[in-house]
Amino acid sequence: MKVCVIGLGKLGAPLAACMAARGMTVVGVDADKRKVEAINHGKPPVPEPGLAEMLAEAGGRLTAVEQIAPAVAHSDLTFIVVSTPSEAGGGFSLKYVEPTCREIGRTLASKKEYHVVSLTSTVMPGTTGGRVRSLLEHSSGKRCGPDFGLCYSPEFIALGSVIRDFLNPDMLLIGESDQRAGDTLAALYRQVCENQPAVARMNFVNAEVTKLAVNTYVTTKISFANMLARISERLPGADVDVITSALGLDSRIGGKYLKGAISYGGPCFPRDNLAMAALARQVGTSPELAQSVDHFNRWQVEWLADFVQQHSQGPVGVLGLTYKPGTDVVEEAVGLLLARELSQRGVAVIAYDPWGEENSARVLGDRVRLTPGAEECIAGADLVVLTTPWREFASIPGERWARAGTPRTVVDCWRLLKHLGRQPGVRYLVLGACEDKA
């Protein structure tokens, strides 16, 4: 099978590399010349663990171009993996999807072979069978179903583990125009996946709602665990890890994402949650559940800023500015939001992140001083907050956190540094458990 992947960003590039590594001939398309050149030189166009190795395994089966038409013309299946930026009110913009569909359609007009178009980008329900289908049919002069196939098949992956998640998905979601289109896409996934995931096949709108529903449910679960963490901090003897471990044993609940800590962030969870609320309003039902989760999540940044100020009289160090380890993405990251909030309150803030310095600097400007290493950040702070659980932070020797005279306060949001509870020169404050042990 010959595959075209339009969009070589943080999702598209790993997907293209994985399919090529599994024996397919893949052509990637991106308007960014730097990404195209990187792919053609076997270099990762975006930072993602394992991508360099996957590109090496792909070898000459993966190439990249800047034009859509030749890539679609010489492929059997096209993935649309372009950005769908959030809009005011909670929807998604199609400003990149629409011109992509027009160009694909114009190319399909002259193709005799059957071709499947699979939309991976997150969209609002009604989009695939509405605007996307209409653009493809109008531009090609062909009919969806008899003449070409159309699918909506979003990925359930997390940055920092895209390759692992793509190769070993919990399930595959395929919204299909017809059985032939769905069969074609399912066959591709069977060749790529290392496991044997369940495949949920349905119409477009059910698949579109399912995508939003999965992420909204996960954000609700994360927020529930975080609520338990805030409660545990006020009850002598309570420990959120003990509580959530027991909860996770119940098959109705499960242990995934049940880690009481601090706000979720990133490019998917916050916006999909808001999109579900927008969808509820759009169809005339209550959006309150999704809205409450979003409000609680944002409140936690203010709560954490208040907590930090209550325990510090000097500069504050923030360790971790990306929304999770293994990525350079700082979008909605609690560490970045905390640094910005504290700086706006007049607090001197210094910060460090292994991968997120460049992206953080664009957002924070000169309001926050970024250090070249974690130990420099620690040394310059009266209080240090660990906001992203990068494993390298746990390997810093205990004495490097310590301070002569007045102990340095360390706020551990992820319970990654429990050894500091016995470290002289450190006042260790752990979130999710009460200091006053029963």
What CATH number does domain 248-430 carry, 3.40.50.720, 2.40.110.10, 3.40.630.10, 3.90.1150.10? 3.40.50.720
Model confidence at 436, in pLDDT bands (50, 70, 90)?
A: low
**Mean per-residue pLDDT for 163-177?**
96
Catalytic residue among 268, 377, 413, 434: 268
What's the pLDDT at 292?
97
Strands lying side by side in the sheet with 149-152: 62-65, 25-29, 2-6, 77-80, 116-119, 149-152, 171-176, 198-202
The pLDDT-based confidence of 106 (bands split at 50, 70, 90) is: very high
Q: Are 382 and 314 in contact (CB under 8 A)?
A: yes
For 377-396, the pLDDT digits (tens) are 999 999 999 999 999 999 99
Q: Is the pLDDT of residue 124 over 80?
A: yes
Instruction: Tell me: pLDDT of 435 over 80.
Output: no
pLDDT at 397 over 80: yes
User: 151, 116 in Cβ contact below 8 A?
Assistant: yes
At residue 339, the pLDDT reads: 98
Q: What is the structure's pLDDT at 324?
A: 95
- Asked if 429 and 411 count as a contact pair (C-beta separation under 8 A), the reply is yes
For residue 286, the number of C-alpha atoms closer than 13 Å in the C-beta half-sphere is 3
Tell me what the mean pLDDT of segment 168-179 comes to: 97
Single pTM value for the model? 0.93
List the domain boundaries for the chain.
Answer: 2-202, 248-430
Q: What is the pLDDT of residues 265-283, one digit of tens each?
A: 999 999 999 999 999 999 9
Do the first three CATH levels of 2-202 and 248-430 match, i.e. the same topology?
Answer: yes
Q: What is the dihedral of CA 63, 68, 70, 73, to 10 degrees?
A: 110
The answer to whether residue 254 scores a pLDDT higher than 60 is yes
CATH of domain 2-202: 3.40.50.720
| pLDDT tier for residue 438 given thresholds of 50, 70 and 90 | very low
Percent of the chain with pLDDT over 70: 99
Separation of alpha carbons 290 and 297, rounded Å: 11
**How would residue 437 be classed by pLDDT, with cut points 50, 70 and 90?**
very low
Average of per-residue pLDDT values in the chain: 96
Q: Predicted confidence band at 103 (pLDDT cuts at 50, 70, 90)?
A: very high
> What pLDDT was estimated at residue 89?
85
Tell me, yes or no, if 4 is annotated catalytic: no
326: confidence class by pLDDT, cuts 50, 70, 90: very high
Q: What percent of the chain has pLDDT over 90?
A: 97
